Amino acid sequence: MYVSYGIGVGISIAVYLLLFLFGYGDQLLQNFFIICGTLILLMPYINALSKVIWASFFFKYDPAMSKKSKINVSKK
C-alpha cells in the first residue's frame, strides 16, 4: 500500500502539471475528476508495479542460487 500510494501521488502530480501546462490549472473540480479518472484507469498497472517494487526490497537475485536450482531440477 505504501508504494502504490507513492506511485499514485506521483501520477496525480504529473497529471496536474500537464493540465496546468495546457491551461486548465484554474478549474479545480474538473482537474480533480480527471486525476481520479486517470488513477482509476491506471490502477491495475499501479498495483502491479507497486508489487514489483515492494518485492525488490526483500528478494534479491542470486546467480549462484539460480544455477543450483537448475541443477537440482534437471536431476529429477
pLDDT of the residue at 8: 96
pLDDT of the residue at 71: 62
pLDDT of the residue at 63: 78
pLDDT of the residue at 14: 96
CA atoms within 13 A on the CB side of 7: 20
CA–CA distance, 27 with 21 (Å, rounded to integer) = 13
- Give average pLDDT by consecutive 10-residue segment, the chain, 76 residues: 94 95 89 96 96 89 74 56
Helix axes 2-21, 28-58, angle to 10 degrees: 140
Classify 62 as helix, strand or coil. Answer: coil
pLDDT of the residue at 27: 87
Domain count of the fold of the chain: 1
The range of the structural domain enclosing residue 10 comes to 2-75
pLDDT of the residue at 7: 96
Grid-cell match 502504490, residue found: 4
**H-helix or E-strand containing 26?**
none
